[in-house]
Amino acid sequence: MIEIPINDDYMNRAREKASTVGILQGSITGGTSNVVGAIGELVVADSINAKQINTYDYDLVKDGMRIDVKTKRCNSKPQPHYDCSVALHGTKQDCDAYVFVRILTDLTKAWILGGISKHNILIITTAIHSKPTVTIYR
């Protein structure tokens, strides 16, 4: 797990990026979390030196690998037993891998939790807030 402080540069870039996105199809929050998602994409892109692409299917490209970043808010530092998950409709995206990020609700810190290739996902469907999800068990 990599901890990254969220500075003014991240916030300014994330706000700019989020203002161009609108409400994404399947958005659980109706577009209100666009800044949070943008921060997740930015910290991953900067950390692995990936190119930001931002298609419906993936967010970043690194050495030809198409990466979709999945970001969630949290109230405290993530613990090792926390799950990383993808909404079931997200598994239809044409990407090669997922990278998981958690961000404090006060937007002061982010954590890159890890990633997994889409091919290697163990799919277990559960219902969370009546939304089917795919949970990645480590």
Q: What pLDDT does 125 receive?
A: 41
d(CA 62, CA 69): 12
Q: What pLDDT does 122 receive?
A: 52
- Cβ of 73: how many Cβ atoms within 10 Å? 14
Burial of 79 (0-12, 13-18, 19+ CB in 10 A): exposed
What is the residue whose two structure tokens read 């991953």? 44
- What pLDDT, in 10s, does the model give residues 22-43? 555 555 444 557 889 999 999 9
Write down the mean pLDDT value for the chain.
81
- What pLDDT, in 10s, does the model give residues 39-68? 999 999 999 999 999 788 899 999 999 999
| DSSP symbols for 37-100 | HHHHHHHHHHHHTPEE---SS-SEEETTEEEEEEEEEESSPPPTT--EEEEGGGGGS--SEEEE
Q: Which residues contact 74 (CB under 8 A, 6 or more apart)?
A: 102, 103, 104, 105
Q: What is the CA radius of gyration of the chain?
A: 14
Q: Is the dihedral of CA 80, 11, 25, 115 positive or negative?
A: negative
Percent of the residues in the chain that have a pLDDT greater than 70, as a whole number: 75
d(CA 7, CA 25): 29
Closest CA to 13 of 29, 47, 37: 37
Q: With bands split at pLDDT 50, 70 and 90, how would you rate the model's confidence at 124?
A: very low
